[in-house]
Structure 1
């Protein structure tokens, strides 16, 4: 397996390290000469490129794209046209129109297209889905995601597109459907042209309600998912990598029930390794990734609906 990583910046370097350890790294594309020269010293046997067009002309099997989001569409489309399988970091594109075009192009060309929705590759998430579908919480009422910290603020995209995209992907994965209704509010505390904190409310056809709270300006790091049902509540603490089942609920006669709590699953600290190994397996087996192009399109479409809802709420 020969995979070229396009973009060796803050996140790209993590992809490079993991692909190297998986034995699949064949080249690096980086426009920053200083950074490229450093990689030349560290990896004398690797193919190094100053531009991605040269990399696509090489004999690599696939590319992993970790460049700024506005460049994803052009590079990924060109890679598909060049006969390469594609792993592209989240968000897949900056618009649903571009996302649909890219997904359709990959499908028509018979190429694997996988998007880096990292949280889907935490073993805890797949475990939670199976646990809920087995009826361990009874009827599911709601799913809430919290992703809060003193983060790296951006000026080009709001906080939901930056860090909330992970939770949006998980929300759609756990419910198995797009929301019927989307509402949201945002706050621009840092004086930027984009929201640095957002509250999102989603309503699904099956009756489940979803909530997402994201912020770059928060005193503590909180990354957790809370699911509530008729027979208890589940809390996935992403920081502690623990899933706790709180066997607490309120009966139909409004009687409070509390049968205690226990940690029912421990997560894994290396989702990126698992994610990239999944991509390699999909390329080898020609199988559809968990975070394929179609699922990424659904995420982008929902993010656009959130932006529209937040813009609407700001008018009042």
Structure 2
């Protein structure tokens, strides 16, 4: 029998979890501070609607997916794991590193699974890119830059950095396998006191550099991760159709008689199997519940992302 999952938080992203878990045969209940909203999803999906204060004591719930405003994640995650539930907590898992550390420590002490919703780690194009890097196809990685731009969404608690950057930081940390030794942030708040644009500059122990740019006030969508190696460069562009999402550029650069020369080659598009990242993420969560394996996107990884966000945050009056 599949693990019985409840989704706590029936907002925009919570609704995606609800429908995906239903398709996987694992949705048992929904819960929200707004009873009418929870009841609507319960009727639609033919599952239980349970009030948040009653959710943790239920014996018929094995695990909880939390898609709440981030200021509530740590408290609710701690309550859940101490009640014996495994959890998948959407990003960011907390607004401070100490709160994140407390919730992850509580899960470890209780012997519960703690997974973070860094969904792009489960994108088939990123998984293929990671395989190319691990095989050495790109050579030694020297530079990574990511752009995540668009119009909206606007939150009262999260600025552009905290809302948009966690996915890219998760991918960057997966590639580098190390925390940065230096983080420098720049931001600009145009609408209120929260940054609408943000840049992060990072330096890693082996000299690798990385740059991240996020914006929620951009006229077009951009979802691009570029990895520059000594042999090749690769681009994961999630705006492109599936057959063009992952491109490898085998450019050549060399010195000739004391001068730099280069050849620019057309990209090779790497075949990527189609698949919905959220479905694959939740399948991984179900597998971890059943096998008790450490999730690919663990709580420790989420703490590493939060440390970078905290170091790179620029405050505005």
Does the 8 A contact of 1:142 with 1:209 survive in 2?
Answer: yes
CA contact (8 A) 1:244 1:265 kept: no
Superposed CA deviations along residues 142-197 of structure 1, whole A, max 9, x for unmatched, are: 0011000112122312111101111111111110011010112111122x111000
Q: Secondary structure at the match of 2:251?
A: strand
CA distance in 2: counterparts of 1:206 and 1:221, whole angstroms: 32
Deviation for aligned residue 1:278: 0.2
Aligned counterparts of 1:199 and 1:73: Cα–Cα separation in 2: 27
2: CA distance, partners of 1:169 / 1:200: 14
SS of 2:266 mapped into structure 1: strand
Normalising by the residue count of structure 2, what TM-score does the alignment of the two structures yield? 0.93
- Three-state SS of the structure 2 residue aligned to 1:265 is coil
Conserved? CA contact 1:122–1:267, under 8 Å: no
- CA contact 1:232–1:246 (8 Å) conserved in 2: yes
Quote the residue 2:277 is aligned against: 271
| Aligned mates of 1:219, 1:265 — CA distance in 2 | 30
Aligned residues: 308
Instruction: Tell me the equivalent position of 2:195.
Output: 195
Consecutive unaligned residues of structure 1, counting only runs of 5 or more, are: none
Tell me the distance in 1 between the aligned counterparts of 2:180 and 2:308. 8
Looking at structure 2, the residues matched to 282 and 201 of structure 1 have their Cα atoms a distance apart, in angstroms, of 34
Equivalent position to 1:288, from 277, 287, 294: 294
Q: Cα deviations across residues 70-120 of structure 1 (Å, max 9, x unaligned)?
A: 010111000010011011111111111011111111111110000100111
> Mapping of 1:121-160 within 5 angstroms?
121-160=122-161
Distance 1:106 1:37 in 2: 29
- Residues of 1 paired with 2:212 and 2:265: CA distance? 28
SS at match of 1:219: strand
Alignment partners' CA distance in 1, 2:81 and 2:252: 50
CA distance in structure 2 between the partners assigned to 1:268 and 1:188 by the alignment = 37
User: Structure 1 residues 132, 39: closer, same or farther in 2, change over 3 A?
Assistant: closer
TM-score normalised over the length of structure 1: 0.93
* 1:178-257 → structure 2 map (5 Å cutoff): 178-190=179-191, 192-240=192-240, 241=242, 242-253=245-256, 254-257=260-263
User: Offset of 1:48 from its aligned partner?
Assistant: 1.0
Aligned partner of 1:299 in structure 2 is: 305
